[in-house]
Structure 1
Amino acid sequence: MKQIPQQIRDAQGAGVATDVVIMAAGKGTRMKSTLPKVLHRLGGRALAMHVIHTAARVGARRVVVVTGHGAEAVEAALGAGAQGVLPLQFVRQMPQLGTGHAMQQAAPVLPDDGTVLVLSGDVPLIGADTLQALLAASAGERLALLTIVFDDPAGYGRIVRDAAGGAVQAIVEQKDATEAERAIREVYSGVMAVPARLLKGWLARLDNRNAQAEYYLTDVVKMAVADGVPVVAHLTTDALQVAGINNPAQLAALERAWQARQADALMEAGVRLADPARFDLRGTLDCGADVEIDVNCVFEGAVTLGDGVRIGAHCVIANARIEAGAVIHPFTHIDGEKAGVTVGAGALVGPFARLRPGAQLGAEVHIGNFVEVKNATLAKGAKANHLAYLGDATVGERVNYGAGSITANYDGANKHRTVIGDDVHVGSNCVLVAPITIGAGGTIGGGSTIAKSTEPGALTVGRARQVSFANWQRPKKNQP
Structure 2
Amino acid sequence: MALDVVIMAAGKGTRMKSSRPKVLHTLAGRPLLQHVLQTVATLDAQRTVIITGHGAEQVEAAVQAPGLQFVRQSPQLGTGHAVQQAVPALGDDGITLILNGDVPLIEASTALALIEACAGRQLALLAIELPDPTGYGRIVRSGDARGGHVVGIVEHKDASPEQRKIREVYTGMMAVPTRALKGWVARLRNNNAQGEYYLTDVVAMAVHDGVPVVATHARDEIEVLGVNSPSQLADLERRYQRKLAEQQMEAGVRLADPARFDLRGTLQCGQDVEIDVNCVFEGDVVLGDGVRIGANCVVKNAVISAAAVIHPYTHIDGERQGVKVGEGALVGPFARLRPGADLGPEVHIGNFVEVKNSTLGKGAKANHLAYLGDATVGERVNYGAGSITANYDGANKHRTVIGNDVHVGSNCVLVAPITVGDGATIGGGSTLSKNAPAGELSVARARQTVIPGWQRPKKAAR
- Is the TM value for this pair above 0.5? yes
Partner residue of 1:432?
Answer: 414
Partner residue of 1:128?
Answer: 108
Which runs of structure 2 are paired with 1:348-387 in the superposition (5 Å)? 348-387=330-369
**Per the alignment, in what secondary structure is the counterpart of residue 259 of structure 2?**
helix
The answer (yes or no) to whether the contact 1:390–1:406 under 8 Å persists in 2 is: yes
2:50 aligned with 1:65, yes or no? Answer: yes
Q: Which amino acid aligns with 1:134?
A: L
Which runs of structure 2 are paired with 1:263-342 in the superposition (5 Å)? 263-342=245-324
Residue among 395, 406, 413 paired with 1:413: 395
Partner residue of 1:178?
Answer: 160
In structure 1, what is the Cα distance between the partners aligned to 2:92 and 2:384?
Answer: 70
Residue among 155, 167, 178 paired with 2:135: 155
The answer (yes or no) to whether the contact 1:149–1:237 under 8 Å persists in 2 is: no
In structure 1, what is the Cα distance between the partners aligned to 2:263 and 2:8?
Answer: 26
In structure 2, what is the Cα distance between the partners aligned to 1:114 and 1:378?
Answer: 58
In structure 1, what is the Cα distance between the partners aligned to 2:459 and 2:324?
Answer: 55
Residue among 426, 432, 446 paired with 1:464: 446
In structure 2, what is the Cα distance between the partners aligned to 1:237 and 1:185?
Answer: 15
2:24 aligned with 1:42, yes or no? Answer: no
Partner residue of 2:200?
Answer: 218
Partner residue of 2:70?
Answer: 90
In structure 1, what is the Cα distance between the partners aligned to 2:253 and 2:157?
Answer: 48
In structure 1, what is the Cα distance between the partners aligned to 2:360 and 2:418?
Answer: 16
**Identity over aligned pairs, percent:** 72
In structure 1, what is the Cα distance between the partners aligned to 2:89 and 2:256?
Answer: 50
Q: Which amino acid aligns with 2:359?
A: T
2:151 aligned with 1:169, yes or no? Answer: yes
Q: Quote the offset at 1:213 in angstroms.
A: 0.8
**Per the alignment, in what secondary structure is the counterpart of residue 57 of structure 1?**
coil
Runs of 4+ in 1 over 3 A off after TM superposition: none
TM-score computed with the length of structure 1 as normaliser: 0.94
Structure 1: unaligned runs, 5 residues or longer = 1-15
In structure 2, what is the Cα distance between the partners aligned to 1:43 and 1:139?
Answer: 34
In structure 2, what is the Cα distance between the partners aligned to 1:129 and 1:89?
Answer: 24
Q: Which amino acid aligns with 1:292?
A: E
In structure 2, what is the Cα distance between the partners aligned to 1:176 and 1:253?
Answer: 27
Q: Quote the offset at 1:152 in angstroms.
A: 2.3
**Cα deviation digits, residues 428-456 of structure 1 (max 9, x gap):** 00000011111111111100000011221
In structure 1, what is the Cα distance between the partners aligned to 2:342 and 2:217?
Answer: 51
Partner residue of 1:28?
Answer: 13
Q: Number of aligned residue pairs: give it.
A: 460
Partner residue of 2:118?
Answer: 138
Residue among 17, 20, 24 paired with 2:2: 17
Q: Quote the offset at 1:290 in angstroms.
A: 0.6
Q: Which amino acid aligns with 1:202?
A: W
In structure 2, what is the Cα distance between the partners aligned to 1:355 and 1:416?
Answer: 19
**Per the alignment, in what secondary structure is the counterpart of residue 255 of structure 1?**
helix
**Per the alignment, in what secondary structure is the counterpart of residue 112 of structure 2?**
helix
Moved more, 159-168 or 281-290: 159-168
Partner residue of 1:4?
Answer: none
Q: Quote the offset at 1:237 in angstroms.
A: 4.7
Rate the CA distance shift 1:355–1:87 in 2: closer, same or farther, 3 A: farther
Partner residue of 2:223?
Answer: 241
TM-score computed with the length of structure 2 as normaliser: 0.98
Q: Which amino acid aligns with 1:370?
A: F
**Per the alignment, in what secondary structure is the counterpart of residue 112 of structure 1?**
coil
In structure 2, what is the Cα distance between the partners aligned to 1:294 and 1:142?
Answer: 50
**Cα deviation digits, residues 91-141 of structure 1 (max 9, x gap):** 111110100111111111111233111111111111111111111101121
**Per the alignment, in what secondary structure is the counterpart of residue 63 of structure 1?**
strand
Partner residue of 1:115?
Answer: 95
Rate the CA distance shift 1:377–1:87 in 2: closer, same or farther, 3 A: farther
Residue among 371, 378, 383 paired with 1:401: 383
In structure 2, what is the Cα distance between the partners aligned to 1:106 and 1:477?
Answer: 80
Structure 2: unaligned runs, 5 residues or longer = none
**Per the alignment, in what secondary structure is the counterpart of residue 82 of structure 2?**
helix
